[in-house]
């Protein structure tokens, strides 16, 4: 798989997430939680944005982004427009970073030991799966609201 092909998955998923955020009836519903569901759609969105900015932006793209993972789950009250702006910025970081990677770069060990020693390509696919898992949760959360 090429970096361009991997990037297409990320860009598509970011667009799908943007559509989910826009589909919430209002800003407040993004932050609601229901019994047995501890994470709001807004917090899961912040988590995905943080993941993109950290693992792709900072680790691979050397952007200098400093992740505050706890804030991804504790922050509340951002508007749909604010979340989409943050997502658009992360999407551009992903696009720029991934399109700069060569085939050789994809085969190198990922420079952060998250779940064992694996290639950059392996982790980029792993993070796509992670993104889609949470995207499904956000879709479910939105439909409950």
pLDDT tens readout for residues 130-145: 999 999 999 999 999 8
Concatenated DSSP letters of 35-70: TTB-S-HHHHHHHHHHHIIIIIIIHHH-------HH
**Are the C-beta atoms of 12 and 4 separated by less than 8 Å?**
no
pTM assigned to the model: 0.96
* Number of Cβ atoms within 10 Å of the Cβ of 138: 25
Contacts of 107 (CB under 8 A, 6+ apart): 119, 120, 121
Domains of the chain: 3-144 (1.20.120.450)
pLDDT tens readout for residues 29-65: 999 998 888 999 999 999 999 999 999 999 999 999 9
């Amino acid at each position: 798989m090429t970096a361009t092909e991997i990037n297409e998955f990320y860009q598509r998923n970011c667009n799908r997430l943007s559509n989910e955020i826009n589909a919430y009836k209002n800003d407040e519903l993004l932050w609601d939680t229901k019994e047995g569901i501890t994470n709001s759609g807004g917090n899961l969105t912040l988590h995905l944005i943080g993941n993109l900015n950290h693992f792709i932006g900072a680790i691979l793209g050397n952007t200098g982004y400093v992740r505050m993972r706890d804030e991804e789950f504790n922050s509340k009250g951002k508007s749909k427009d604010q979340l989409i702006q943050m997502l658009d910025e992360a999407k551009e970081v992903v696009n720029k970073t991934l399109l700069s990677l060569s085939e050789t770069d994809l085969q190198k060990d990922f420079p952060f030991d998250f779940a064992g020693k694996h290639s950059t390509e392996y982790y980029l696919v792993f993070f796509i799966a992670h993104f889609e898992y949470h995207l499904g949760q956000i879709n479910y959360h939105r439909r409950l609201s």
